[in-house]
C-alpha cells in the first residue's frame, strides 16, 4: 500500500505572533497554493493555531495542536482545552505523548491513549509519539520500550482512533541534539513498529503513517525518507523557518 508522506512541524513553546506572520507569508509566497509531493502540517503554540490557520487558508498546509485535554466534555478543568475547542480553532491534528510531555508533565501511556481517543472523538488526527532514551538504547531495550508504548495505544484506544492515528518515532537522544538517528536506525525501528502493529491488525499496519522525529534537517531529510517504512517527519527546530521546513518537505518525494 502506498502511503502519503507527511512533514509535520512542532514549534513547541517557541515563536510569537510576528514570527507566525513571517512564516505564513513565506510559505504562501513559496507554495502559491500549489501542493508538494508531501502533505504539510504545522503545530504552533495553541494560542496561534487560529491565526496561523486563517492566514494559511488556501495553502496546502494544515495546522495542528501540540496538546489536548484528556476530557472530552466541557467542565471545570482550569487551563485545559478540549478537542472540540481545538477543532473550532481550525486544528486538524494534535500531537500526543511527545517525550517532553511524558517526561515533564508525567503523561504516562494510559493518559496518552486517553488523549488520542479524545482527539479522534473530536475529529482530530492524533499523532502519537513513542521513543526511547539513550540509556535504554545502550542497554538494548529499544524494542521492549517501543513495544510497551505502542501496545498501550493498540490495546487501550478505540478502533476509530487507531484507524485515524499517525505514529511518530522520536528517539529522545536525537531530539534537539543535532544527533539524528541514522537512516538505518530509523528504518529498523519503523519496521519494528509496523510489525508490532501488524501483530494486532495487519491492515492497519500497512496504512498507518510512521513519522521520524529527532534532529531532522534539510541536509539529512532525504536519506531518512529513503527508508521504506519512513512516511515523513515530525520536525522541531528546523520547522521554525519556512525555508528549512519547506526544504525538508521537498526532500520527501
Ligand atoms: O517534535 C519534534 C521533535 O521533538 C524533534 O525536535 P528537533 O527536530 O528539534 O530535534
Do 124 and 93 meet the contact criterion of CB atoms below 8 Å apart? Answer: yes
Tell me the whole-structure pTM to 2 decimals.
Answer: 0.98
- Residues in a beta bridge with 129: 168
d(CA 53, CA 20): 10
88, pLDDT greater than 80:
yes
The domain total for the chain is 1
Residues placed in the known binding site: 10-12, 176, 215, 236-237
Q: How remote is the CA of residue 100 from the centroid of ligand 1, in Å? A: 10
Confidence bin at 23 (pLDDT 50/70/90) = very high
Beta carbon of 9 within 6 Å of any ligand 1 atom: no
Mean pLDDT of 56-66: 97
| Residue in the structure block whose three cell numbers are 494510559 | 110
Q: Please write the tens of the pLDDT for every residue from 103-117.
A: 999 999 999 999 999
Q: Which atom of ligand 1 is nearest to the CA of 177?
A: 10
Residue nearest to atom 8 of ligand 1 (CA): 236
List the domain range (segments joined by +) for residue 58. Answer: 6-250
56 domain-assigned: yes
**What's the grid cell of residue 91?**
486544528
Q: What is the ipTM of this complex?
A: 0.99
At residue 12, the pLDDT reads: 98
Residue nearest to atom 6 of ligand 1 (CA): 236
Q: Please write the tens of the pLDDT for every residue from 125-171.
A: 999 999 999 999 999 999 999 999 999 999 999 999 999 999 999 99
Mean pLDDT of 99-105: 98
* % helix, strand, coil for the chain, step of 5: 50, 15, 35
Torsion of CA 47, 53, 55, 58, to 10 degrees: 180
CATH number at residue 152: 3.20.20.70
Q: Please write the tens of the pLDDT for every residue from 193-244.
A: 999 999 999 999 999 999 999 999 999 999 999 999 999 999 999 999 999 9
Q: How remote is the CA of residue 223 from the centroid of ligand 1, in Å? A: 17
Instruction: Please calculate the CA angle 92-242-46 and round it to the nearest 5 degrees.
Output: 35
1 domain-assigned: no
**What's the grid cell of residue 182?**
541514522
35 domain-assigned: yes
Q: Which atom of ligand 1 is nearest to the CA of 180?
A: 10
Beta carbon of 224 within 6 Å of any ligand 1 atom: no
Confidence bin at 92 (pLDDT 50/70/90) = very high
| Residue in the structure block whose three cell numbers are 513559496 | 30
Give catalytic residue positions: 98, 170
1, pLDDT greater than 90:
no
Amino acid at each position: 500500500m502506498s502511503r502519503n508522506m507527511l512533514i509535520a512541524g512542532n514549534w513547541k513553546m517557541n515563536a510569537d505572533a510576528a514570527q507566525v506572520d513571517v512564516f505564513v507569508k513565506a510559505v504562501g509566497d513559496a507554495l502559491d497554493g500549489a501542493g508538494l509531493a508531501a502533505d504539510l502540517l504545522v503545530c504552533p503554540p495553541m494560542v496561534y493555531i487560529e491565526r496561523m490557520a486563517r492566514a494559511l487558508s488556501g495553502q496546502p498546509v494544515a495546522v495542528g495542536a501540540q496538546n489536548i485535554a484528556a476530557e472530552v466534555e466541557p467542565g471545570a478543568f482550569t487551563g485545559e482545552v478540549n478537542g472540540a475547542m481545538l477543532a473550532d480553532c481550525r486544528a486538524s491534528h494534535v500531537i500526543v505523548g511527545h517525550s517532553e510531555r511524558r517526561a515533564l508533565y508525567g503523561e504516562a501511556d494510559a493518559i496518552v491513549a486517553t488523549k488520542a481517543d479524545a482527539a479522534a472523538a473530536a475529529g482530530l488526527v492524533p499523532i502519537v509519539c513513542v521513543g526511547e532514551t539513550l540509556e535504554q538504547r545502550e542497554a538494548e531495550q529499544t524494542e521492549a520500550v517501543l513495544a510497551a508504548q505502542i501496545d498501550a495505544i493498540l490495546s487501550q484506544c478505540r478502533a476509530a482512533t487507531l484507524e485515524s492515528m499517525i505514529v511518530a518515532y522520536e528517539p529522545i537522544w536525537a531530539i534537539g541534539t543535532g544527533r539524528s538517528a541514522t537512516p538505518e536506525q530509523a528504518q529498523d525501528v519503523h519496521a519494528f513498529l509496523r510489525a508490532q502493529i501488524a501483530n494486532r491488525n495487519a491492515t492497519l499496519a500497512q496504512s498507518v503513517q510512521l513519522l521520524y522525529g529527532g534532529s531532522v534537517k534539510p541536509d539529512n531529510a532525504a536519506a531518512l525518507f529513503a527508508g521504506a517504512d519512513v512516511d515523513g517527519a515530525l520536525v522541531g527546530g528546523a520547522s521554525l523557518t519556512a525555508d528549512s521546513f519547506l526544504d525538508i518537505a521537498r526532500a520527501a518525494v
